[in-house]
């Protein structure tokens, strides 16, 4: 199982790829629910991080990255 640090590194890597290769998609990243938490102090779990990674991958795949 990946650590929280490894998951965060993967998120940064995917986000950078999107910013470099398809900057017009950045607005969709900013609209994802994980980037707009409902709580003032949201709990970020490994599952949430993994789900976010999958969301980024889906965004890349759906737009023929």
**Token couple for 55:** 């969301």
Q: Report which of 3, 63, 4 is spatially closest to residue 28, judged by C-alpha positions.
A: 63
Q: What percent of the chain has pLDDT over 90?
A: 48
Q: What pTM, to 2 d.p., does this model score?
A: 0.78
d(CA 42, CA 36): 10
d(CA 65, CA 48): 23
Q: Which residue has the higher pLDDT, 43 or 19?
A: 19
Domain count, the chain: 1
pLDDT in tens, 8-32: 999 999 999 999 998 998 888 877 7
Query: What is the model's pLDDT at position 36?
Result: 56
Whole domain around residue 29: which residue ranges? 4-62
Q: Which residue has the higher pLDDT, 12 or 36?
A: 12
CA separation (Å) from 37 to 15, 20, 41, 53? 18, 26, 8, 16
């Amino acid at each position: 199982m990946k650590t929280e640090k490894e998951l965060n590194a993967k998120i940064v890597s995917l986000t950078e790829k999107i910013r470099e290769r398809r900057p017009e998609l950045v607005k969709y990243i900013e609209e994802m629910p994980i980037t707009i938490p409902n709580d003032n102090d949201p709990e970020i779990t490994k599952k949430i991080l993994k789900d976010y990674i999958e969301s980024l991958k889906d965004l890349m795949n759906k737009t023929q990255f």
